[in-house]
Structure 1
Amino acid sequence: MSILPFAGRFDPARLFAFKGGVHPETRKFLSAECEIEDMPIPALIRVPLQQHIGVEAEAIVERGDTVLKGQLIGKARGPVSANIHAPTSGQVIAVGHFTAPHPSGLPVPTITIRPDGRDEWGPRLPRLHPESAAPEQIAAQVAEAGIVGMGGATFPASVKLNLRAKYDLHTLVINAAECEPYLTCDDRLMRERAEEIADGAGIMARALGVKDIIVAIEANKPQAIQAMQRHKIALGYKMRIKTVPTQYPMGSEKHLVKTLTGRETPARALTAELGIVVHNAATAHAVHLAVRYGEPSISRVVTVSGRGVARPANVRALIGTPVADLIAHCGGLVEEPDRLLMGGPMMGQPIRNPRVPIVKGSGGILALTAEETREKDVMPCIRCGLCVQVCPMGLTPFELNTRVEAGDLDGAAKVGLLDCINCGCCSFTCPSNRPLVQTIQYAKGKLAERDSRKHQQDQAKRLAEARTARLEAIAEAKRAAMAKRKAEMAAKKKREAEAAQVVAEAVEATSRKEAAK
């Protein structure tokens, strides 16, 4: 769908409401006042090659190799992929499959490193001077650094930075809403690294070719707002700090853009079609480190929280650090958690095995007690419509649920299955405790699996048809060559016969002449 660009500037002082949303208890007080602390290097680091949306990276190291900190160990494949780097120095002890940080618990390609404790850097990426660097150079540096969206979406950041070539962009929005309960990693990053985040925002603005930068922060983070307001100029760009309402899912980029501009992004369209690109605050910080200091994406700040943790904290940990090590660093568990999550309580993924590693999109590890989850028995849907009222996408979750349970995936797709952003508002508000968002996620997975299978079948059919056509072409070429050879042989025999006839006639003529004498 083609979308017309802004006819004029939107009002920077005005905020707009979006439909739906909920107001869960934030419970950020557990870790909001905990300064970022560096975690020691773990005994083992497991680095999955799939930490981003798109094609998994290809391992370029082998078992037994010695690697240095920051060394490239997984090469991006295709236009939507991301490089993977060694978080520290050590020895590669395995290149194989290990349990993914995903509810499925299925193994994924993973590089396992035993750190040597020296934390020795290899050659870093070349430093750039963003004030004079070309936009293409900045985007290429971000790609080399393997930076992805660190708010959880994990879309390769360089792909977004290259949208300037396709769209008429005018605004960069730094998403610092951090609307998920419990999570405070972005809040602390803004309080402690505001200047670096602002610099990263300015660098991205230069890469995108935009004129305006807006940093959107929820109202429940006054200290972060105050810290960011000290840096209103970033790399020569004016940066506006906007305080947005504390409402979930304010962190959804389409809803954040609606709040800031009043404009809606159509279903399955990009905010870039409105001239706006959204990046997370932690992503801006990672861009600053990559461009200014040549540091690839090898660590991140993670909130470890919940009543089940002895000491909630905000920890800077290496990518690939096991969840169990993070929890142990925070004093361990005070009781067996009712739910262990990677991410926030609304959209986070259950952790079945605490040995799984954190990845680039891991903003939090939550150990929630039974009191915090308050699980109830699932009851039949009473058609109250509350899920419809709170859905920020304007969908009818109860109808989606009914169609999915009946196995009607195509029908569910027709009423908006693929437009669901999996925010969990419907499940949160359901008085019957229906697992609506889980059912919808399951259906989207089944639909994707079916479409993938159909694509594979179509691809196999296309390849088979291409092979048949190729074999037929080869056979036709052979037949043509055989016919040509036969024609040439026939022509040769004819010429030989004609030559023999000429010789015979000449001999006969000579014989007649001699007889006449």
Structure 2
Amino acid sequence: MLSIIEQIKQGQLWDFPGGIHPAENKTLSNRTEITHAGIPDELVLPLKQHIGTKGEILVTVGDKVLKGQPLTKSDMSMCVPVHAPTSGTVTAIEQRTTAHPSGLSDLSIVIKSDGEDQWGSQHKIADYESLEPAELIDAIRLSGIAGLGGAGFPTGRKLQGSLGLADILIINAAECEPYITADDRLMQDYAEEVIEGIRILRHIVKPKLTLIGIEDNKPEAIKALEKCVSAEDNIIIRVIPTKYPSGSSKQLVKILTGREVPSQSRSSAVGVVVQNVGTAFAVKRAIIDGEPLIERVVTLTGEAFKQRGNVFARLGTPISYLLDSYGYKPDRKYPRVIIGGSLMGFTLPHANVPITKITNCILTPKRRELPLYTHEMACIRCSACADACPSSLLPQQLQWYAKDKDYDKCEEYNLFDCIECGACAYVCPSEIPLVNYYRKAKAEIWANQQEAANAERAKQRFEAKQARFERDKAARENRFKKAAEDRRKDMAAKGGDDAVAAAIARVKAKQAAATSETADKKPAVAAAIARAKAKQAEAANADNTAPKITSAVPDNSEMAKLREERKRQARERKAAKLAEEAEQASPASEQSTDSKKDAVAAAIARAKARKAAQQADAQPESTKEQPANAESDPKKAAVAAAIARAKARKAAQESGGEPEQPAETTQADADPKKAAVAAAVARAKARKAAQQAQAEASVQETKPDQADEAEVDPKKAAVAAAVARAKARKAAQQAQAETPAVETEPEQADEAEVDPKKAAIAAAVARAKARKAAQQAQAETPAVETEPEQADEAEVDPKKAAVAAAVARAKARKAAQQAQAEASVQEAISEQPADAEIDPKKAAVAAAVARAKARKAAKEAQEKNEEN
């Protein structure tokens, strides 16, 4: 049986399943020689133009670069650098749209050409046969060479992976895609350089056999290659039938060798390495000429191009530059620019996309030339796609699972064996864009796999970190344990005690002491609680046995006494303060004449008479309002009423029966400023006197003379004290409510001009209102309001009650004296002679002081009431 190599040498060919025969349309561009497209003003170079990772940028914005200078670098075999296609300046490093079906942008280096096209350093290797394959592979990688057939796999990585494994080297010259003629013209015009590049690859791989697979529709290229191949080269040119996609790597290996590449594997798995014609040409330029990959052959075809053909285009050249240079006239209704052929190409979103290492064709068809597939219909299960698939897949099932996003099923049906040739979509009667579904599904699966790989790496890093923490923790514990053991041994050797054990013992002793102290405190607390409960029970029993008025309350007499004593001291301090203020106001009256003194004495007498009459009138009411359940002596009440009437008559006699002289007549012809000042002072004094008199006079008890009696009824004393406090509170409230009536008069002391008659009338009205408010407040005050907490007490200490009554009467007398003194000062000021000279500014200040004192007195009276 003949070997595979012997069968190949005898000219045997194999076939692959499926395949189609579309219209070739190659004659549009393969009739003219390759030309140079020129250098545009701006070149855009994406960092990633191949399969693998992008390199590290070596330049910055503003740098000057030379032709062939590397712009990126990397030490990884799956990364190839990018070189400057011409000399110029780096103007930007930014995101630009790339030649990809997604239409997304990628980081790119933008170079502005200087027009000189000056080369940088070049490293040429004249005798490559003297170098080791590894050195040549490294030189190829540093030259930025990737597969130029369309896949873009790094050439150096492919060669390195095939060393010692491949026995057959295949040069792919089939170029089966319709419209594309770049390899055809390259073999016709540069056959010698292509063969020299194949010799370099053969030196690196050292195969047993080298094959050039070329379709039979390229007769001129076949003749050109045969002229350049000698018998010593051991290179076989094998012409194969034209069939799409025979130019695919797996299908070409099947046709030439009969070997079938396993699923999701490369051709090196069956001992074959495949390189493209354009790649062989780039290897020759890099090794022998020292030129990195900075340009490639691009086919410009389609009826929309006026000048069609193949050109050497610099990498980074905008497609719009080529369209403008070669007479592009877009279709009026459906303008399209396609990168690649009619089956595997994709439409660009716009023309500002650069040429990259894998750009082999720019197709600009018109609508009649290449119809649009815009009417996707439901699959009719005709199986035409399965018959045309060169990889023996089930395209309709893959499309169904891809559409349903069932990616596990897609992988189960070998989605990644699809070479995206487009044969299935070409024969589909329902015009379903099957390849688009496959590309999207592949992208999703790759993204998921990448995410899973990242998660797995993160998990491994976390587990390694946790293991490191555990090791460090165990090491620390072992160090501490060893140190403690060494310390114990050292102390045992010296005959001492263990310091750690001693410290632990001390802590435990402290805790035990604290626990015992807490235990000792608990019985004491329990005893206190028991005593309190006993007292409460005793008080409850006493309340149940004692007679009740309304309800029983605990005996708080001692606390009440202390509170009353504190209140009394506070009231005495405030009374002393008010007396000092009255003394400060008295010098004004001392400066007046004897007539003024007589007027003051008369005013005091009249005030006493009115107050005595009001007390006499209020006395019977207080006896009426006493509760019915309180026991009172009729004789004592009669005596108290008689005493009150006698005091009233005595006060009237002392006053001499002089009628109240209106002060308005003396103020008729007063100076306007003086009259205004007098009116303001009168109003302020009237308010202050009314508030203090009403607040303090209500504290006086209804029976003032009963404190001297030897025997005092406890119940009556308690009632009297409660009545006194209630009167004080209510009188203060009513006085506070009535006071605004006096303050309603506008204070015109600061006005420059005031009518004398109006000022006198205002002063008289203010005094009348003050007297009326005081009378109403005293007349309306209820006589008796017993406080519930004391009226309900069944038993009261007689001595304590007598003391409280005496204190109340003393306070009432003192307050009455202060009120009389203030009233006299008011009358004296109001009756000043008209010819008295008063400074207007001083009068205004005095009026303001009077108003402030009145407000302060009202506030203090309110605080006294709250304390009572």
Same fold (TM over 0.5): yes
Separation in structure 1 between the aligned mates of residue 164 and residue 475 of structure 2, nearest angstrom: 45
**Structure 2 equivalent of residue 26 of structure 1:** 24
Per mean C-alpha deviation after superposition, the further-off stretch among 380-389 and 456-465 is: 456-465
SS in 1 for 2:213: strand
**Cα shift at 1:96:** 2.9
Kindly indicate whether the alpha-carbon contact (under 8 Å) linking 2:81 and 2:144 is maintained by their aligned counterparts in 1.
Answer: yes
Please show how residues 266-415 of structure 1 align to structure 2 within 5 Å: 266-335=262-331, 338-376=335-373, 377-415=375-413
Kindly indicate whether the alpha-carbon contact (under 8 Å) linking 1:397 and 1:436 is maintained by their aligned counterparts in 2.
Answer: yes
What are the Cα deviations for residues 391-432 of structure 1, in whole angstroms up to 9, with x where unaligned? 000001001111122221111211121111111100011010
What are the Cα deviations for residues 261-305 of structure 1, in whole angstroms up to 9, with x where unaligned? 222222122222332211100101001111111111110010111
**Cα shift at 1:353:** 2.6
Separation in structure 2 between the aligned mates of residue 466 and residue 388 of structure 1, nearest angstrom: 49
**Structure 2 equivalent of residue 138 of structure 1:** 136
Match of 1:222 among 206, 210, 219: 219
Separation in structure 2 between the aligned mates of residue 312 and residue 7 of structure 1, nearest angstrom: 42
Match of 1:444 among 429, 442, 445: 442
Per mean C-alpha deviation after superposition, the further-off stretch among 346-355 and 180-189 is: 346-355
What are the Cα deviations for residues 311-335 of structure 1, in whole angstroms up to 9, with x where unaligned? 2221101111111111112113343
Per mean C-alpha deviation after superposition, the further-off stretch among 344-353 and 116-125 is: 344-353
Are 1:199 and 2:196 matched, yes or no? yes
SS in 2 for 1:210: coil
Higher RCO structure (Cα 8 Å, ≥6 apart): 1
Kindly indicate whether the alpha-carbon contact (under 8 Å) linking 1:338 and 1:373 is maintained by their aligned counterparts in 2.
Answer: no
Please show how residues 63-78 of structure 1 align to structure 2 within 5 Å: 63-78=61-76
**Structure 2 equivalent of residue 510 of structure 1:** none
**Cα shift at 1:166:** 4.5
**Structure 1 equivalent of residue 13 of structure 2:** 15
**Cα shift at 1:145:** 0.8
Separation in structure 2 between the aligned mates of residue 332 and residue 7 of structure 1, nearest angstrom: 49
RMSD, aligned α-carbons: 2.0
Please show how residues 232-247 of structure 1 align to structure 2 within 5 Å: 232-233=229-230, 236-247=232-243
Per mean C-alpha deviation after superposition, the further-off stretch among 115-124 and 211-220 is: 211-220
- Percent identity, aligned pairs only, is 38
1:77–1:110: structure 2 CA closer, same or farther, 3 Å change rule? farther
**Cα shift at 1:364:** 0.7
**Cα shift at 1:161:** 1.8
**Cα shift at 1:338:** 4.1
**Cα shift at 1:498:** 5.0
Are 1:456 and 2:454 matched, yes or no? yes
Q: Radius of gyration: which is bigger?
A: 2
SS in 2 for 1:151: coil
Kindly indicate whether the alpha-carbon contact (under 8 Å) linking 2:330 and 2:336 is maintained by their aligned counterparts in 1.
Answer: no
**Structure 2 equivalent of residue 124 of structure 1:** 122
Separation in structure 2 between the aligned mates of residue 338 and residue 35 of structure 1, nearest angstrom: 27
Separation in structure 1 between the aligned mates of residue 462 and residue 34 of structure 2, nearest angstrom: 57
SS in 1 for 2:8: coil
Are 1:101 and 2:99 matched, yes or no? yes
State the number of aligned residues.
Answer: 494
Kindly indicate whether the alpha-carbon contact (under 8 Å) linking 1:68 and 1:86 is maintained by their aligned counterparts in 2.
Answer: yes
TM-score scaled by length of structure 1: 0.91
**Structure 1 equivalent of residue 663 of structure 2:** none
**Cα shift at 1:352:** 1.1
Are 1:170 and 2:161 matched, yes or no? no
Separation in structure 1 between the aligned mates of residue 7 and residue 95 of structure 2, nearest angstrom: 49
User: Which one-letter code corresponds to 2:384 in the other structure?
Assistant: L
Separation in structure 2 between the aligned mates of residue 268 and residue 205 of structure 1, nearest angstrom: 26
Separation in structure 1 between the aligned mates of residue 16 and residue 314 of structure 2, nearest angstrom: 37
Unaligned runs of 5+ in 1: 1-5, 500-517
SS in 2 for 1:161: helix
Kindly indicate whether the alpha-carbon contact (under 8 Å) linking 1:174 and 1:279 is maintained by their aligned counterparts in 2.
Answer: yes
SS in 2 for 1:197: helix
Per mean C-alpha deviation after superposition, the further-off stretch among 29-38 and 463-472 is: 463-472
**Cα shift at 1:458:** 1.4
What are the Cα deviations for residues 92-147 of structure 1, in whole angstroms up to 9, with x where unaligned? 11223222211222221211111111111111124241233322222122112111
SS in 1 for 2:21: coil
Per mean C-alpha deviation after superposition, the further-off stretch among 174-183 and 337-346 is: 337-346
Separation in structure 1 between the aligned mates of residue 419 and residue 4 of structure 2, nearest angstrom: 29
Kindly indicate whether the alpha-carbon contact (under 8 Å) linking 1:135 and 1:206 is maintained by their aligned counterparts in 2.
Answer: yes
User: Which one-letter code corresponds to 2:440 in the other structure?
Assistant: Y
Kindly indicate whether the alpha-carbon contact (under 8 Å) linking 1:211 and 1:237 is maintained by their aligned counterparts in 2.
Answer: no
1:393–1:143: structure 2 CA closer, same or farther, 3 Å change rule? same
1:489–1:99: structure 2 CA closer, same or farther, 3 Å change rule? farther
**Cα shift at 1:238:** 1.9
